[in-house]
Amino acid sequence: MPPICTDATTIGSCPVRSWWRPGWPLTATEKSSISTWCDTEDEIFWTQFLRRLRKRGLSGVVLVISDAHTGLKAAIRKTFSGTSWQRCRVHFMRNLLARVPKGHAEMVAATVRTIFAQPDPEATRTQLRLVADSFADRYPAVTDLLIEAEADVTAYAGFPYPHWKKVWSTNPLERLMREIKRRADVVGIFPDDASILRLVGAVLSEQHDEWQVSNRRYLSEESMALIWTMNQDDASKEVNQLPAAG
């Protein structure tokens, strides 16, 4: 089972933008739907969303990749207790650069990216601490964030190396959602929910086939087999896990 990618911004906005534009008249049901989709930091929404996935047969999840919305993290902890969690490095970088003067952002970003260029878990975490120390005097807020998020942004390093670039961010999901929006914008106006579901379903089916059986398979069978053969005790030392909900 591949990891789950969830992104509050992407999932929360795309369905609404795809079929509704400001100023259009809305029914009560449509207003409720938009309110539900837009409240993307709400723990209740995300818990229901993830539980629906489980009810539909999702199992064997070993890693969830997401941004760090509080409600989303709480829902992941409730629904997939003990599952490893990777904080999306792209969203993390945005959060980090918000603490740096604009004129210095490029230098800071280049330095932080060296963390993700390391060849193994130990080197990755060592480099993160070195980078954090290097910013301690000039950018203490960056240092604090790096130290605080160490386990969150390096969880990918506990998985097979061929997976790293595919599980350290939610970029694959965002690309998919952009494609759905592009296709929906071509149509422009959908007469009802069923029509947009047919379009979205077709796009998702195409992507599923590509990731599962084509030459562009998202995660190869050989690399997935490495996960199942990992010693669980060793893996728990390397991989960040959200604590179980109290």
pLDDT at 88: 95
Strand, coil or helix: what is 60?
coil
pLDDT at 22: 40
What separation in angstroms does the CA of 53 have from each of 50, 57, 138, 220?
5, 7, 45, 23
pLDDT at 16: 35
Amino acid present at 60: G
Strand, coil or helix: what is 170?
coil
pLDDT at 131: 97
- Measure the CA–CA gap between 108 and 112, rounded to whole angstroms: 6
pLDDT tens for the chain, 246 residues long, are 445 555 544 444 333 333 334 444 445 554 454 445 545 568 888 999 999 999 999 888 889 999 998 898 999 999 988 889 999 999 999 999 999 999 999 999 999 999 999 999 999 999 999 999 999 999 999 999 999 999 999 999 999 888 899 899 998 888 888 999 999 988 888 888 889 889 999 998 988 888 777 666 777 777 777 776 664 445 444 455 555 444
pLDDT at 3: 53
- Measure the CA–CA gap between 87 and 191, rounded to whole angstroms: 38
CB-based contact 6:169 (threshold 8 Å):
no
Cα end-to-end distance, the chain, whole Å = 27
CB-based contact 96:115 (threshold 8 Å):
no
Beta strands across the sheet bearing 4-6? 4-6, 63-66, 84-87
pLDDT at 221: 73
